[in-house]
Amino acid sequence: MDKPYLKLFPNEEGYFGKFGGAFLPPQLIEQFKKIEQAYLTIGNSHNFIMELRDIRKHYQGRPTPVYYAKRLSEYVGGARIYLKREDLNHTGAHKLNHCMGEALLAKYLGKKKLIAETGAGQHGVALATAAAYFGLECEIHMGEVDIKKEHPNVTRMKILGAKVVPVGFGGKTLKEAVDSAFDAYLKDPDNSIYAIGSVVGPHPFPKMVRDFQSVVGFEARDQFLEMTGNLPDNLVACVGGGSNAMGLFSAFIDDPCEMYGVEPAGTGAKLGEHAASLTYGSEGVLHGFNSIMLKNEDGSPAAVHSIASGLDYPSVGPEHAHLNSIHRTKVATANDKETIQAFYDLSHYEGIIPALESAHAVAFAMKLAKEKPYESILVNLSGRGDKDIDFVVENYPPENY
């Protein structure tokens, strides 16, 4: 019998088909090999698995429910829409699922410090939470532009005891923060570990982060079967780097379910107006892995836009590029306008305020529901919207919706 998909992909070099790999400066090759070896041995040990399961249950509050969104489904008048409630995971989003895994691995390796970059601050907050739990130091690199924009998250990280390092060169945003965090890691790779925030980066991170997030899909598969006696016909998740989507999809890849990754179509189809990498991009290497990316004519990463800052990334995890290229997953989009409408619809009809990232998935699910009236749709509601309410109320006042 063939091995199941999750054991076959990625291969030993970290490739999903032609996508993935590890494009690293020579000084880091050895370090990433060590992380891979540690993950394969420690990560598969009984103690590690038991400790992580205990954390999931007693600290994170897992399993999160699967919920039938009855009023929203009736309002749309089509398929039944179900939500996997990652907004109810501790810290209010799915990101803690992989941060706790990465930090637990750091603990087993005897590391003292977690280092990472953050854009909007969501990954920084989740990692700072994990660091507090394990008693590790935490250093988060963040562009000065983002520090100004995302002040509440900066405050959260500081309250949690993390050191926030302002990055003041270049565009002073996410890309420079990645460079700065890599430099910091290079200076002290023995005592620290770089903790990537999605299914991106050099091997083994796309695999590790997927495996840590797969708890979402495996829980949801059991819950949905128990609730309905069937598997969902369709799965829908938003895609920035792609971790919440891979978390959901990974448990269903060998099942007869249609899977839709929803990219942010922003305000238009021109470069700079969206962050829909798989929809409009082409093959290229960015941040140490080969995937599909949005490039300028000279090959440099393009500027991107989305109202959801967590989806604002000019590339996508290599596994999504692969699954899309073999047509196992489908790429869908939701634009800013549809997303804001879905944000209000879910709030009004269900009393659930979604993160703007997750509202992209809800927006597409509402379109799909009309096309497939007799089917079921399971949406990964990746996070709650508390972080977005000031922005939404200022720019899209509730009176208009």
Ligand X SMILES: *Cc1c(COP(=O)(O)O)cnc(C)c1O
Stretch in the footprint of ligand X (CB under 6 A) among 110-118, 232-240, 274-282, 293-301: 232-240
Asked if 322 touches ligand X (CB under 6 A), the answer is: no
**Closest to ligand X by CB, 242 or 314:** 242
**Closest to ligand X by CB, 56 or 320:** 320
CA dihedral 133, 134, 136, 141 (to 10 degrees): -50
Residues 75-114 that bind ligand X (CB under 6 A): 93, 95
Per-residue HEC secondary structure of the chain comes to CCCCHHHHCCCCCCEECCEECCCCCHHHHHHHHHHHHHHHHHHHCHHHHHHHHHHHHHCCCCCCCEEECHHHHHHHCCCEEEEEEHHHCHHHECHHHHHHHHHHHHHHCCCCEEEEECCCCHHHHHHHHHHHHHCCEEEEEEEHHHHHHCHHHHHHHHHCCCEEEEECCCCCCHHHHHHHHHHHHHHCCCCEEECCCCCCCCCCHHHHHHHHHHHHHHHHHHHHHHHHCCCCCEEEEECCCCHHHHHHHCCCCCCCCEEEEEEEEECCCCCCCCCCHHHHCEEEEECCEEEEECECCCCCECCCCCCCHHHCCCCCCHHHHHHHHCCCEEEEEEEHHHHHHHHHHHHHHHCCCECHHHHHHHHHHHHHHHHCCCCEEEEEECEECHHHHHHHHHHCCHHHC
**Closest to ligand X by CB, 120 or 189:** 120
Stretch in the footprint of ligand X (CB under 6 A) among 30-38, 236-244, 326-334, 362-370: 236-244
CA 30 remoteness from chain centre: 27
Asked if 241 touches ligand X (CB under 6 A), the answer is: yes
Shortest gap between Cβ of 110 and ligand X (angstroms)?
28
Shortest gap between Cβ of 382 and ligand X (angstroms)?
3
Member of 20, 21, 101, 242 binding ligand X (CB under 6 A) = 242
Distance (Å) of CA 383 to CA 33, 48, 57, 248, 352 = 32, 26, 18, 14, 10
Shortest gap between Cβ of 226 and ligand X (angstroms)?
25
Residues 170-229 that bind ligand X (CB under 6 A): 198
Asked if 310 touches ligand X (CB under 6 A), the answer is: yes
Residues 108-127 that bind ligand X (CB under 6 A): 122
In which residue are the tokens 């599909």 written?
Answer: 292
What binding mask, one character per residue, do residues 267-306 give for ligand X by CB under 6 A, x or -? Answer: ----------------------------------------
**Conformation bin of residue 366: beta by default, left when phi > 0, alpha when psi is -120 to 50:** alpha
Member of 21, 240, 264, 281 binding ligand X (CB under 6 A) = 240
**Closest to ligand X by CB, 105 or 353:** 353
Stretch in the footprint of ligand X (CB under 6 A) among 103-111, 217-225, 239-247, 388-396: 239-247
State the amino acid at position 246 in one-letter form: M
What binding mask, one character per residue, do residues 8-27 give for ligand X by CB under 6 A, x or -? Answer: --------------------
**Closest to ligand X by CB, 96 or 189:** 96
Stretch in the footprint of ligand X (CB under 6 A) among 15-23, 241-249, 295-303, 370-378: 241-249
Asked if 358 touches ligand X (CB under 6 A), the answer is: yes
What binding mask, one character per residue, do residues 372-391 give for ligand X by CB under 6 A, x or -? Answer: ----------xx--------
How many residues are given for the chain?
Answer: 401
Shortest gap between Cβ of 353 and ligand X (angstroms)?
12
Stretch in the footprint of ligand X (CB under 6 A) among 43-51, 299-307, 353-361, 392-400: 353-361
Member of 244, 306, 329, 376 binding ligand X (CB under 6 A) = 244
**Closest to ligand X by CB, 111 or 215:** 215
Asked if 339 touches ligand X (CB under 6 A), the answer is: no
Distance of alpha carbon 95 from alpha carbon 387, whole angstroms: 14
Asked if 243 touches ligand X (CB under 6 A), the answer is: yes
User: Which sequence positions are flagged as catalytic?
Assistant: 95, 117, 382
Nearest to 115 by CA among 101, 128, 100, 129: 128
By beta carbon distance, the residue nearest ligand X is 383
* Interacting residue ranges for ligand X, rule: CB under 6 A: 93, 95, 122, 198, 238-244, 310-311, 355, 357-358, 382-383
